[in-house]
Amino acid sequence: DQQVKQNSPSLSVQEGRISILNCDYTNSMFDYFLWYKKYPAEGPTFLISISSIKDKNEDGRFTVFLNKSAKHLSLHIVPSQPGDSAVYFCAASAGGGSQGNLIFGKGTKLSVKP
């Protein structure tokens, strides 16, 4: 049973446009969410996080939105750049992140075309 779902395996966007990556979760105990970016043959790189007390967190070109009632979060990248092409993973945890267990989605492969 997948508790964190990324329903789009891939997404293609033109350079300079907005990329929107989506993530749904089922466990209402999740209260801390993270986005990671991963290049082939490398480890995941932390991008941005949000706790359930917020509905938005912004860091440069990256913004994460959280809709608790819908159990949905999204990552917006504006403007998209070719170097953003990678697999993006959504991850969630309970207990304010103090629990070690991060639950990951299967990832969305983003391709940004010049």
Partner 1 sequence: NAGVMQNPRHLVRRRGQEARLRCSPMKGHSHVYWYRQLPEEGLKFMVYLQKENIIDESGMPKERFSAEFPKEGPSILRIQQVVRGDSAAYFCASSLLEGLENIQYFGAGTRLSVL
Give contact residues for partner 1 (rule: CB under 8 A): 4, 32, 34, 36, 41-46, 49, 51, 89, 91, 93, 96-107
CA-to-CA distance for 51 and 113, rounded, in angstroms? 32
Q: Least separation, in Å, of the C-beta of 46 and partner 1?
A: 6
Q: Least separation, in Å, of the C-beta of 23 and partner 1?
A: 11
Neighbours of 67 (CB within 10 A): 11
Neighbours of 28 (CB within 10 A): 10
Q: Least separation, in Å, of the C-beta of 86 and partner 1?
A: 14
Q: Which is nearer to partner 1, 22 or 79 (CB)?
A: 22
- Residue 106 half-sphere exposure, CB side, CA atoms within 13 Å? 8
